[in-house]
Each structure stands twice: as C-alpha cells, then as structure tokens.
Amino acid sequence: MMRLRQIALVTAELRDAEQKICDQLGLEVCYRDPGLSHFGLRHGLYAIGDQLLEVVAPKQAGTTAGRFLERRDGAGGYMVLLQTDNLEQQKERVEGAGLRIVHDGQVNERGTSIHGIHLHPKDVGGAILSLDQADPPESWLWAGHDWLYHSLGDVVTKIVAIDIQADVPQTMAERWAKAIGATLKDNVIELDDAKIRFVQANDGRGDGLAAAELLATDRSRAGEVLSICGFEFRLV
C-alpha cells in the first residue's frame, strides 16, 4: 500500500492562511500539536475526508521551514506524507538505494501508533517526503485521536492529485519514483488513491510542491482554482 495521506504548506502568516482555508475550502482546524514547538514551528491541521492538510509557520529563526520560505521566496507547498503498510521494508529499500533518512519518529498512544521517516530533501527534491505507517491503518496520530470528527466535506472531500514542479521534471520524477519504490509513467506516479504529477516550473520559483486537485462536493464548482499560501487548489 502507498497512499497520499497528508500534504503540508508553509507560510510566514499562519493566521491569515488558516482564515482562507476555513473560508474558501470549508475546513476547520482538527488538531494542533504542542510538540511541534520543539522544531520551532506553529501549525494547524485540517481533515479532508480521511486525508490531512497541514499549514506550518516558523516561530523562530534557523528552522527548516524558515529556510524553505527564503529559498522559494514565499509561502508554498512544503511536505508530502505517504502512508505505507510495510515501513521497515521501505526503510531497508530507501537505505539500500543510498537515500538518507533525516528523521525517524514514532508515537504510541491508547493502543494506536504511527511511525514515520523523513527523507533528506536534497536526495528527493521538491518537498520533504515522509513515509509513514499507522496502526490501525485508518488512524493518523500525527493529527491526534479526534481529527476525523472535524472532516466536514462541505466544499471538498478528497485530495486526488498533487503537482510537483521542477526545472527538469523528468529528473525530479525519477528521484521520487526511486524514493517511493514506484513505477513512473509519463512523469506521473500512481498511488493507491491519488497521483503525483511532475510538471514544468514556469513561475520562477524553481522546484516545489505547487498544486493539489481536490474533489468538489458541489460538482458545479469543478474547474475553480483557489490560491492559498502560494499554492493552487484546483477543484475537480
């Protein structure tokens, strides 16, 4: 199994971003992890069906998120979290491929657990890639225990695709396929529930997570494009 379970955006203005997400996407904050302050970050998480959207903001100098904002000249896509059911095998494959793991974290609470690894951004490119295993699979402790109660579905119900832009999309696509252990076809990786597409960067901002396609509850809204945090949300 390899699912798209969560994407994260980064911004310098968390309150403004959260207001736009609530107003335009019809979502509400489902969780704030106080432990994230350890990484010098503030954040909010939002449930979209059984997937998650996160927005993070640096609250001190010297954070990875802050450097990301500087490098890409503003807010944008930051992280992609994929869910697998065989993380130990994935770790062996990743390390065997010569890819570096920069973070390995695990949480166990109330009979529920999650374990995730972050790959070195320079080995993958475009965004921080995390591979995660949750037990039970429908849980997601990075968002606490009660996040699903906040999955409203008034405007959008599912993330069906993401776009990662690059100056050389083919090279970026090959690096991600290697990192995930996936088959690549026409610069697209087909996950179990979504697509990762690698597209040409045309906005002068270089490599990065650029857009997501969301399934619209109101089918008449398909085709609308919403811009939040330097990121495009396309309703389909």
pLDDT, tens only, 69-113? 999 999 999 999 999 999 999 999 999 999 999 999 999 999 999
CATH pick for 2-235 out of 3.30.2010.10, 3.30.230.10, 1.20.1560.10, 3.10.180.10: 3.10.180.10
The reported pLDDT for the residue numbered 39 is: 81
**Which sequence spans correspond to the domains of the chain?**
2-235
Q: Is the pLDDT of residue 64 over 90?
A: no
As a whole number, mean pLDDT of residues 191-206 equals 96
In this prediction, residue 175 carries a pLDDT of: 97
Residues linked to residue 116 through DSSP beta bridges, in sequence order: 105, 132
Radius of gyration of the chain (CA): 17
- List, for residues 133-184, the tens digit of each pLDDT value: 999 999 999 999 999 999 999 999 999 999 999 999 999 999 999 999 999 9
Residue 176 is predicted with a pLDDT of 98
Each residue of 175-197: pLDDT tens digit? Answer: 999 999 999 999 999 999 999 99
Asked whether residue 36 carries a pLDDT value surpassing 90, the answer given is: no
- C-alpha span between 101 and 142 (Å, rounded): 19
**pLDDT average, residue stretch 24-42:** 92
CA atoms within 13 A on the CB side of 161: 15
Q: In the 3-class helix/strand/coil scheme, how is the chain assigned residue by residue?
A: CEEEEEEEEECCCHHHHHHHHHHHHCCCEEECCHHHHHHCEEEEEEEECCEEEEEEEECCCCCHHHHHHHHCCCCEEEEEEEEECCHHHHHHHHHHCCCCEEEEEEEEECCEEEEEEEECHHHHCCCEEEEEEEECCCCCHHHCCCHHHHCCCCCEEEEEEEEEEECCHHHHHHHHHHHHCCCEECCEEECCCCEEEEEECCCCCCCEEEEEEEEECCHHHCCCEEEECCEEEEEC
pLDDT band, residue 10 (cuts 50/70/90): very high
User: Could you tell me the pTM of the whole model?
Assistant: 0.97
User: Rounded to 5 degrees, what angle do the CA atoms 87, 169, 157 make?
Assistant: 60
Reported residue count of the chain is: 236
Structure tokens at 195: 């697509």
Average confidence score pLDDT of the chain = 96
The whole-number average pLDDT for the span 114-137 is: 97
Amino acid 188: pLDDT: 98
